[in-house]
Structure 1
Amino acid sequence: MTIPLPILDLKQCDAEHAMRAFIGWWPDAQTRAWLAEQARQAQALYGGRMMQSDHFHLTLAFLDSSPVSALQSLATRMAGWTVPDIKLDLTVRDVFEKPRVVWAGPDDSQKQALDALQQWHEAIWSSLTGLGWTQPPRPFRPHVSLLRHAQIVAGRAHGHRLSPQAFVGDGAGLIVSVPCEQRSQYHLAAMMGSERTGA
């Protein structure tokens, strides 16, 4: 399993510093290419900024701004976590109006996949709460963001059926968002079930 991001060694970071982070599940190269095409098609409708192809992911837990010391502890533990075998198809494109995001994800008919993702999400948060994080109250909606800053007309139906594309996972890990001059760059700090970690 690989995640195509630069590595961040958390040992080299100030333990008192805070960084935005999340735990994400990365698709393989073929799935990312399909998502890039969906993003191009969506941009023609909504404008906005396309996600970088290497940044396409399904968020399992958003950690917001977290102390590096806490992320270091989490990274150490994540190597022992496992990635479940979940069969998932991306079949719908829709929007989140308020944050102005266009996304692709599974439709509600994929109950087995959605149940498995929900269980994985809850298992991750069970571990995170044990490490001091507080689970946000918002419901978990599995999705892959395609566009940000989209021009979305409120109140309209935006759901669109897509030709099914299997989401083939290629690793899950702890990702830290590092501010850069033009846009933030994701860095991999740890992977589940892997020695590739910046703990």
Structure 2
Amino acid sequence: MAEAAADAGRAPNLRLFFALWPDAATRAGLHARARALHSECGGRAMRRDTIHLTLAFLGETPVRQVERLRAVAAGVQGEGFALDLDRVGSWHRNRILWTGPSMVPPALAALAQDLEGRLRADGCALEARAFSPHVTLVRNAHAAPREAQLAPLRWTVGSFVLVASELSAAGAHYRTIGRWPLKRRG
């Protein structure tokens, strides 16, 4: 009974992260790559509507902090860029297959660093590991992919988003709760 009263008194939380969200054409190309990797290595290909590149994972966050996070994001200075996804790889420990760039564009590194710095200055607890830009394509893979030269999949990035991950029996559903444009290169 006391446990239920304590739960009722807690503010509701959202599972949040900042990300790059692909446009429809890029998402289709990434999903095709996910299906090919799934055919080769097994596991569970990511659904087309969930494919993204995480910039900063916040985890369980009180709803009351969303407006503050929007203000932090609005202060981020960034420039749009092209991201060439020309590698695939795997993390054996958690059986993830991913795609990423062999060369990280300076504008992506600067965006991630600016966002992380502002979030930390605002008191957000972030993971200590270094930023490693990748797009998860397959979970629970049975094998690592063969090494092969990939034709780059070019993603023109013009904004970043704040996303809420909502879990259900059908899996994760992502809801965009804020979007911020990046300056056009010129």
Equivalent residue runs for 1:45-84 within 5 Å: 45-84=40-79
User: Normalising by the residue count of structure 2, what TM-score does the alignment of the two structures yield?
Assistant: 0.83
Tell me by how many angstroms 1:123 deviates. 0.4
Equivalent residue runs for 1:25-36 within 5 Å: 25-36=20-31
Equivalent residues of 2:19, 2:52 under 8 A apart = yes
Aligned-residue CA RMSD (Å): 2.3
Match of 1:105 in 2: 100
Supply the AA of the counterpart residue of 1:142.
P
Supply the AA of the counterpart residue of 2:177.
A
Tell me by how many angstroms 1:174 deviates. 0.4
1:86 equivalent to 2:81? Answer yes
Counterpart secondary structure, 1:123: helix
Q: How many residues align?
A: 174
1:169 equivalent to 2:157? Answer yes
Tell me by how many angstroms 1:15 deviates. 8.1
Equivalent residues of 1:91, 1:106 under 8 A apart = yes
Structure 1: give runs of 5+ residues left out of the alignment. 1-13, 195-199
Match of 1:3 in 2: none
Runs of 4+ in 1 over 4 A off after TM superposition: none
Tell me by how many angstroms 1:182 deviates. 1.4
CA distance in structure 2 between the aligned counterparts of 1:79 and 1:15, rounded to whole angstroms: 28
Equivalent residues of 2:45, 2:137 under 8 A apart = yes
User: Normalising by the residue count of structure 1, what TM-score does the alignment of the two structures yield?
Assistant: 0.78
Counterpart secondary structure, 2:37: helix
Tell me by how many angstroms 1:77 deviates. 4.0
1:187 equivalent to 2:175? Answer yes
Equivalent residues of 1:15, 1:69 under 8 A apart = no
| Identity value in percent | 30
C-alpha spacing 1:52/1:18, structure 2 compared with 1 (3 Å): same
Equivalent residues of 2:80, 2:156 under 8 A apart = no
CA distance in structure 2 between the aligned counterparts of 1:167 and 1:15, rounded to whole angstroms: 41
C-alpha spacing 1:158/1:133, structure 2 compared with 1 (3 Å): farther
Tell me by how many angstroms 1:83 deviates. 4.3
C-alpha spacing 1:169/1:116, structure 2 compared with 1 (3 Å): closer
Supply the AA of the counterpart residue of 1:131.
D
Counterpart selection for 1:127 from 118, 143, 149: 118
Supply the AA of the counterpart residue of 1:138.
R
Counterpart selection for 2:37 from 35, 42, 45: 42
CA distance in structure 2 between the aligned counterparts of 1:70 and 1:104, rounded to whole angstroms: 32
Equivalent residues of 2:77, 2:114 under 8 A apart = no
Match of 1:4 in 2: none
Structure 2: give runs of 5+ residues left out of the alignment. 1-8
Match of 1:145 in 2: 136
CA distance in structure 1 between the aligned counterparts of 2:12 and 2:94, rounded to whole angstroms: 27
Find the structure with the greater CA-based Rg.
2
CA distance in structure 2 between the aligned counterparts of 1:71 and 1:46, rounded to whole angstroms: 38
Equivalent residues of 2:52, 2:135 under 8 A apart = yes
Q: 1 or 2 for the larger relative contact order (CA 8 Å, sep ≥6)?
A: 1
